[in-house]
Amino acid sequence: MKVAVVGLGIAGLSICARLALSGHDVIGLDQFEPMHQRGSSHGDTRIMRLTPGEGETYVELARRAAPLWRTWEGLAGQPFIQWTGGLMAGPSGSPFVTSCQRLSRGPAALLRGDAIHPLTRGAIAMPREWDVFRQEDCGVIAADAVRAFLLRQAPRWGARLVHGKRVTAPIEGLTLQIGDDRAAFDAVIVAAGAWGGALLPEFAGRLAVKRRVVAWFQSSEPRILPVLCVDNEDGVYGMPAPRGLYKLGLHAAGGATSPDDVREPDGRDAEALAEHARLLLPKHDPRPVRMARCLYTVTPDEHFLIAPAQTQERVLLFSACSGHGFKYAPVFGQLAQEWLEGVPSPELLAFGLSGRAGATRLGAPKA
């Protein structure tokens, strides 16, 4: 089949690679240059969790992703994931922490927050009354290295990747206006991140675009620390980053934005993140050494939205959104292939419009 993939973030790249490998005639299109910093996929690192507390559907996705990550690492000749372990934390009774414990195999008990300081030799601190679940199957993904790999690998498998060409919004069928050219396809997959609502307006009301800022902190004693996901009001998350830094982000804090005009990080962002650094990272300087902005596309229930357009069933919205999609990247190509070839898995159906009834199996997402 002749397939257009609109958007070459991590989702679009994975889809192009997989569909081309499976013999489809694939063209991937992006409005910006390769490795650009304006969507949701850029940056040095992302958190990997193999037993995500968000629910069984995500655990299944992560299990599907695990061997595919190893395949990608083998092809690239480099590791993409550094397994650091993780601390899933929150105020006593946190449904997220309880869910992490329930979904993990084995009898591991919850820790109290004040156990973390000695456990991490003083590097991480938490309030005494928090519940903490230690998850060994967590780590850090070298996000930009993965994007760079897919930009090399997808063309080797036969995908044509075209950068610097914007597909005109809205998409109204299987013929796309691409810059000055028009081209017809058998199927169109819209993996356009924060621009998805402009390209397919029927979904716009379900795709809120939010500005997010992450910050890197320097420690007086740099060493590899576990990743953190905190089920508090701001949804703090953290992970070790290159050059001995530790990166913090706020899953739940940050206002609405246009994807074409995102405010640069400022002093208010630094202070909001420093507040959490002071609490959680006692050996780190709470003044960030650098900050970056990123886009979240957030659905009302914060779960992925992968659904055909009602106006044209061969056009698929593929929104691996709400700030927690990167860890499943290798499966995105598989999900797109299932849709294209008419053999949907339960995971794919769970992210459709009607399949959201299955949302009882899904909890509050984290990074």
Ligand X SMILES: Cc1cc2nc3c(=O)[nH]c(=O)nc-3n(C[C@H](O)[C@H](O)[C@H](O)COP(=O)(O)OP(=O)(O)OC[C@H]3O[C@@H](n4cnc5c(N)ncnc54)[C@H](O)[C@@H]3O)c2cc1C
The residues that touch ligand X, with contacts defined as CB under 6 A, are 6-12, 29-32, 39-41, 46-47, 166-167, 169, 191-195, 199, 212, 214, 249, 294-296, 320-321, 323-327, 367
CB of 48 to ligand X, least distance (A): 7
Which runs of consecutive H residues, i.e. helices, occur in the chain? 10-21, 56-76, 95-103, 116-119, 143-156, 196-199, 267-280, 329-341, 346-350
Q: How many CB atoms lie within 10 A of CB 328?
A: 25
Q: How far is the CB of 22 from ligand X (least distance, A)?
A: 19
Helix H or strand E encompassing 298: strand 290-298
Minimum CB distance to ligand X smaller for 265 or for 323 = 323
For ligand X, which is the closer residue by CB, 83 or 117?
83
In this complex, which beta carbon is closest to ligand X, that of residue 113 or of residue 196? 196
CA atoms of 205 and 19, how far apart (whole Å): 29
In this chain, which residue has its C-beta nearest to ligand X? 9
Rounded Cα distance, 40 and 191, in Å: 11
Give the shortest CB-220-to-ligand X separation in angstroms. 25
All residues at 6 or more sequence positions from 355 whose CB lies less than 8 Å from its CB, including other chains: 349
Q: For residue 182, give the 3-state DSSP assignment.
A: strand
Least Å from the CB of residue 176 to ligand X: 9
CB of 356 to ligand X, least distance (A): 18
> Do 157 and 21 touch, CB atoms closer than 8 A?
yes
User: Strands 81-83 and 45-49: what pairing?
Assistant: unpaired
Q: For residues 112 and 166, which CB has a smaller minimum distance to ligand X in the complex?
A: 166
Q: Which two tokens stand for residue 55?
A: 């629910």
Q: How far apart are CB 193 and ligand X at their closest, in Å?
A: 3
Give 118 or 180: the residue with its C-beta nearer to ligand X.
180
CB of 112 vs ligand X, minimal distance in Å: 25
Structure tokens at 261: 């005009």
Q: Which is nearer to ligand X, 110 or 294 (CB)?
A: 294
For the beta carbon of residue 98, count every other beta carbon within 10 angstroms: 18
- Is 367 in a helix, a strand, or coil? coil
Cβ closest to ligand X, residue 47 vs residue 187: 47
